[in-house]
C-alpha cells in the first residue's frame, strides 16, 4: 500500500495543485495496488494504458493552470456503466464481448472534469444481489475480516466491487448504482461512504437498466467530503434521459462541515424491527446522541407503511427487470447459443446467459405482470409504494429535515454463508434501504462504528427530495464523531 493511495480526493486535489506528486505517479501507485490485490476480485477489467494517458493529460492541464475539478483523481467504474470501447457487461455471461460505442452520461461527466479511469469493477449480475456473489466473474472479497479469523466475507451488493476497491485503497472513489440499497449496504459493510441521490439527480443514460423507476447512480468514497465532490461531477440534467431533473446542481462540498444546528432529525419507530441485534440498536442510539450533541433536534416519527416496503419492492423491481431484460435475446449483441429455430435460439441463449438469481427475478417479474395476477400483485405493490412515499412526505411536511436509521441489519457475513438459505433471507438485507428507492428520496450511508468482531457498521440518513446538502451536513457530524475506519491489510 503506497502512501499516495491512502489520500482522500480532497487531499489529492490539493497535493496535485502543490506539485507534491504528479497524476501519473499517483496513477502508477494505484495500478500497482490493484495488481497486488487481485485476490479481492474487485476489478474485472484493468485499463492501465488508458489511465496513464488520462493522467498525463491531467498533468498537462495542471501545469498550464487549467485544472479541472477532478483532474488526476483515479476512479473505478462499476461494470453497469457503459464505457466506450471497454468491457461493459453488467457482470453477466449474456453480454459476453460487449464493448459499447458510446459513453454513459455519468462517466462522461467524470472524464469532462478530469478524472482518471483505472478499470471496471465487479458487481452482482445486472445489479441483482446483496452480496456480490451473483457475478459471472466470481464473488468480490471484502477487505475487512473478523478479529482472529481468516474467513472470507462479502462486501455487500450489488456495488460490492466499488465498495471493496475504495475500502482497500484500489481507487480514490468509485461509481455505483442503487436500486434497493446497492450503494448504501456495501458502503456500510466496508466502512466507506455511499450516497444514493434523489431519483433523477444523475442521468441513467448509458447505465444498464435493472428497474428503471428505482435505479439511480451515485458515488462510493472514503469520506463524506469526497462523496460530495464526486456527486457534484456525476449529477446534472441530461436531455437523453427523460427522468433526469432539470434543476441546478449545488456545490455539495460547501455543505460539508456546515453542522446540524437547527435541523430536525426524525427517528422512525418502524425501523426497530423484530430481532434487531443489540449492536445495531446501540449504534442507532449513539448516532442519535451525536446529532443531538451537535445541535440537532431529535424527534420520534412514524412511517407506518414501512413494513410493506420489502414485499412491495420485490414485486416492482422484478417486474421492471423482466421487461428490461427481455432485450437480451442473442440476436443483436452478446452471447448467442444457436437453436433449431429463432425461438430455440432465444431460449438457449437466455438459459445459458443468465445466472440463477437473474432468472429467479425474471420469473417473478413475469408472473406478477401476467394476466390474472397484475391487479393482485403489481398494481397493489404500486399502490403501497404511493403510501410509502406519502409517509415520508407527511414527515417532511411536519418539519423533519432528515431521518436517521440503521443502514443494515448486521455487519458483513461470510462468502457462501447464505448459499443454503432461502432467497428471502438474502432479501432481508435490504430491509432498511428499499423504502428510499420506493419513494425516490436521497439516502447516505456513513461509517459509524465497529461490532464486537471488529467489523464496520453504518448509519443511514434519509433526506427530502433533492436534499443531498442536508445529508452531507448530517453525515459529516457522524463521521467526525465516529472517526474513520480502515481494514488491516492482509491481501
Q: List residues with catalytic annotation.
A: 78, 158, 182
Supply 8's cell numbers: 482522500
Report whether 178 contacts 196 (CB < 8 A).
Answer: yes
Supply 35's cell numbers: 495488481
40, 76, 257, 286, 318 from 484: Cα distances, Å: 22, 21, 16, 16, 36
What values do phi and psi take at 392, rounded to 5?
-65, -45
Taking Cα atoms as reference points, which of 485, 488, 490 lies closest to residue 192?
Answer: 485
Is the Cα torsion angle 11, 16, 21, 26 positive or negative in sign?
A: positive
User: Distance (Å, rounded) from C-alpha 203 to C-alpha 77?
Assistant: 15
DSSP code of 308?
A: G
| Length reported for the chain | 491
Supply 95's cell numbers: 453480454
180, 182, 412 from 210: Cα distances, Å: 11, 12, 24
Could you tell me which residues come within 8 angstroms of residue 423 by beta carbon, excluding any fewer than 6 positions away? 357, 360
How many other β-carbons are positioned within 10 Å of the β-carbon of residue 432? 31
Using CB atoms within 10 A of its CB, is residue 151 exposed (0-12), middle (13-18) or buried (19+)? exposed
Report whether 335 contacts 93 (CB < 8 A).
Answer: yes
Amino acid at each position: 500500500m503506497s502512501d499516495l493511495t491512502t489520500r482522500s480526493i480532497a487531499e489529492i486535489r490539493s497535493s496535485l495543485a502543490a506539485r507534491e506528486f504528479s497524476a501519473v505517479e499517483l496513477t502508477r501507485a494505484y495500478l500497482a495496488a490493484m495488481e497486488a490485490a487481485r485476490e479481492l476480485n474487485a476489478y474485472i477489467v484493468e485499463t492501465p494504458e488508458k489511465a496513464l494517458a488520462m493522467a498525463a493529460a491531467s498533468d498537462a492541464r495542471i501545469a498550464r493552470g487549467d485544472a479541472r475539478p477532478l483532474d488526476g483523481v483515479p476512479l473505478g467504474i462499476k461494470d453497469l456503466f457503459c464505457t466506450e470501447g471497454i468491457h461493459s457487461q453488467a457482470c453477466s455471461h449474456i453480454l459476453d464481448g460487449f464493448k459499447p460505442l458510446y459513453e454513459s452520461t455519468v462517466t462522461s461527466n467524470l472524464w469532462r472534469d478530469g478524472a482518471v479511469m483505472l478499470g471496471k469493477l465487479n458487481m452482482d449480475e445486472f445489479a441483482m444481489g446483496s452480496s456480490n456473489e451473483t457475478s459471472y466473474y466470481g464473488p468480490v472479497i471484502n477487505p475487512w475480516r473478523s478479529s482472529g479469523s481468516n474467513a472470507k466475507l462479502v462486501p455487500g451488493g450489488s456495488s460490492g466491487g466499488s465498495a471493496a476497491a475504495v475500502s482497500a485503497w484500489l481507487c480514490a472513489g468509485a461509481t455505483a448504482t442503487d436500486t434497493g440499497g446497492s450503494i448504501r449496504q456495501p458502503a456500510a459493510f466496508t466502512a466507506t461512504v455511499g450516497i444514493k441521490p434523489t431519483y433523477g439527480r444523475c442521468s441513467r443514460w448509458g447505465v444498464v437498466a435493472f428497474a428503471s423507476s428505482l435505479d439511480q447512480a451515485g458515488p462510493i468514497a472514503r469520506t463524506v467530503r469526497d462523496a460530495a465532490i464526486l456527486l457534484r461531477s456525476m449529477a446534472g440534467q441530461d436531455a437523453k434521459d427523460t427522468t433526469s431533473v432539470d434543476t441546478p446542481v449545488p456545490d455539495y462540498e460547501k455543505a460539508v462541515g456546515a453542522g446540524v444546528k437547527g435541523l430536525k432529525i426524525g427517528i422512525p419507530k418502524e425501523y426497530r424491527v423484530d430481532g434487531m441485534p443489540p449492536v445495531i440498536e446501540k449504534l442507532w442510539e449513539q448516532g442519535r446522541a451525536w446529532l443531538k450533541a451537535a445541535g440537532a433536534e431529535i424527534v420520534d416519527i412514524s412511517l407506518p407503511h414501512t413494513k410493506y416496503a420489502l414485499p412491495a419492492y420485490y414485486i416492482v423491481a422484478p417486474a421492471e427487470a423482466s421487461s428490461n431484460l427481455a432485450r437480451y435475446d442473442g440476436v443483436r449483441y452478446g452471447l448467442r447459443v444457436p437453436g433449431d429455430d429463432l425461438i430455440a435460439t432465444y431460449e438457449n441463449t437466455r438459459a445459458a446467459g443468465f445466472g440463477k438469481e437473474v432468472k429467479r427475478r425474471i420469473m417473478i417479474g413475469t408472473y406478477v405482470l401476467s394476466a390474472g395476477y397484475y391487479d393482485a400483485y403489481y398494481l397493489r405493490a404500486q399502490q403501497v409504494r404511493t403510501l410509502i412515499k406519502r409517509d415520508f412526505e407527511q414527515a417532511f411536511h411536519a418539519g423533519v429535515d432528515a431521518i436517521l436509521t440503521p443502514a443494515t441489519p448486521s455487519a458483513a457475513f461470510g462468502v457462501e454463508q447464505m448459499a443454503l438459505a432461502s432467497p428471502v433471507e438474502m432479501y432481508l438485507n435490504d430491509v432498511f434501504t428499499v423504502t428510499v428507492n420506493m419513494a425516490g428520496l436521497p439516502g447516505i450511508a456513513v461509517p459509524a462504528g465497529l461490532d464486537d468482531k471488529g467489523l464496520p457498521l453504518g448509519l443511514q440518513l434519509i433526506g427530502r427530495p433533492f436534499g443531498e446538502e442536508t445529508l452531507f451536513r448530517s453525515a459529516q457530524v457522524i463521521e467526525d464523531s465516529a472517526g474513520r475506519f480502515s481494514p488491516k491489510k492482509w491481501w
